[in-house]
Structure formats: C-alpha cells, structure tokens
C-alpha cells in the first residue's frame, strides 16, 4: 500500500473484498508520470505536465490509464457496495451513468474496454485544448478542459447524441437500447450507480489531499480477461 489517508484505504478495501477476481491498483504521482511517459509520446507527456492544477492531472490520468488497460475506474473515496459483476454485464464495452442534472455524464466512476473509441476521442479533445492553450482565467476551466464537460462532449460526439438531448430520459429510449445491443454501451441510472457505489466527497477534506496519491482503478484480472479485450 502507498501512504494514503485512512478514508481512501478503507474505501479501497471494499473493492478488494467484493471483487476477488479483479486487480486493484493505486498509483502515486511519480508512478502516474512514469506511466504517461511509457505509453504516450514526448509532446503528449509535456502537455500532461503543463496542466497547472493536480485535479486536472487526476481527471486526465483516469482516461489515459483506462484507455490503455481497460477496467473500472472509481475515485479513491468511493465505497463499493455491490461486486462489479453485479452491476456490469459481461458484454459491456463502455459503462456510464448520467448525473442527475441531465447535462453531464458522471466521470467519478465508469468502465471501458481498452482502446474504446469514446476514450480515444476524449484524449484527442483534451490534447487539442492543451495544445491550443486553455483560458485558465475562466472560472470553470478544469470542468471544461478535463472534467465532466469534455467527458460528456466526447460521449455525445462518438455516440451521436444531440447537444440538447437530456441525458436521463435519453438512456431509457429505444436508441439507447440499440446502442446497448449493438455497441455494448451500458447505461446506468443514477439510482443504479448509487446502489452500487457511494462517493464520500472526501476531496474537500485537507487531510485527504495532503498525501500525493493519484487514482484507484479496478482492472480486469485473469478470471475476467475475456470481459475487457482490445478492439
């Protein structure tokens, strides 16, 4: 174990106990940078390092690591109430839930197979913004550049969901069911997500932030390799 706050340690243990066939991996900041250098080119590494606040790197890294390895991502303060296999079907290729505001998809917990086209497009959009030079004077620049805004834009774009489409009603439509059947896009309602996980919002706690942790994610272990294969 890395030196992590007790709240993160305890939350992580819920994932381990409920998901014995999965690997759970924690990376600190230096290991995150090592991973980025190993899997991305020099320009992309420089753009990653150029981000001025750590929460942007935490946002970006979750997409980068799941794009490479596939798996289930959840913020470090997320408690797991139900095993992964109970809320993610074996034929799912991308799993996401809308926020209750109907405007954005949740990115504090999601799952994908390696190299999923939504994550590919998402990385492209973020790298493009960083290369152009974001307006860091904009009050919500984190949300726009690496957070729920760009995350939702990538999903809408790849799946051709209209900009004005309200997300909670959309995931119950026939078209959403077709995406589930044909492309393995598995939709969770916010109630289903809340039934499986709870986020403690510990990021507001100074004791939680003082340690240089990055992210936790549950990567498919040997018993689940067929669930998350390259496409």
Coil, strand or helix at 197 = strand
Q: Does domain 6-227 have CATH number 3.90.550?
A: yes
Strands 94-96, 78-80: parallel, antiparallel or unpaired by DSSP? unpaired
Strands 94-96 and 185-187: what pairing? parallel
Please tell me the predicted confidence (pLDDT) of residue 200.
Answer: 63
Q: What is the pLDDT of residue 24?
A: 84
- Which residues are within 8 A (CB) of 81 and not within 5 positions of it... i.e. 6 or more apart? 14, 195, 196, 197, 198
Question: Domain residue spans in the chain?
Answer: 6-227
What pTM was estimated for this model as a whole? 0.87
Higher pLDDT, 203 or 162: 162
Work out the angle between the directed axes of helices 29-39 and 54-69 (0-180°, nearest 10): 50
3-state secondary structure of 68: helix
DSSP category for residue 105: B
pLDDT in tens, 57-103: 999 999 999 999 999 998 888 899 999 999 999 999 999 999 999 99
User: For a pLDDT cut of 70, what percent of the chain falls above it?
Assistant: 85
Query: Which of 7-11, 79-83, 131-135 is predicted least confidently?
Result: 7-11
CA dihedral 28, 32, 38, 41 (to 10 degrees): -160
Q: What is the pLDDT of residues 194-216, one digit of tens each?
A: 889 987 654 444 333 333 333 44
């Amino acid at each position: 174990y890395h030196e992590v706050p007790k709240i993160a340690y305890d939350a992580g243990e819920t994932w381990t106990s409920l998901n014995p066939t999965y690997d759970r991996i924690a990376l600190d900041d230096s290991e995150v940078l090592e991973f980025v250098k190993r899997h991305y080119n020099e320009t992309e590494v420089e753009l990653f390092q150029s981000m001025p606040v750590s929460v942007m790197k935490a946002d970006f890294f979750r997409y980068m690591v799941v794009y490479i390895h596939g798996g289930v991502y959840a913020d470090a303060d997320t408690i797991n109430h139900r095993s992964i296999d109970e809320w993610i079907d074996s034929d799912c290729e991308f799993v996401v839930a809308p926020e209750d505001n109907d405007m954005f998809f949740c990115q504090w917990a999601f799952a994908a197979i390696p190299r999923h086209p939504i994550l590919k497009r998402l990385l492209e959009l973020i790298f493009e913004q960083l290369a152009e030079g974001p307006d860091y004077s904009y009050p919500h620049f984190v949300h726009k550049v690496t957070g729920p805004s760009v995350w939702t834009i990538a999903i809408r774009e790849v799946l051709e969901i209209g900009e004005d489409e309200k997300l909670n009603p959309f995931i119950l439509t026939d078209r959403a069911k077709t995406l589930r059947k044909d492309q393995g896009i598995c939709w969770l309602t916010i109630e289903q997500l809340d039934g499986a996980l709870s986020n403690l919002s510990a990021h507001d706690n100074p004791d939680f932030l003082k340690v240089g942790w990055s992210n936790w994610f549950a990567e498919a272990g040997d018993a689940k390799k067929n669930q998350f294969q390259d496409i």
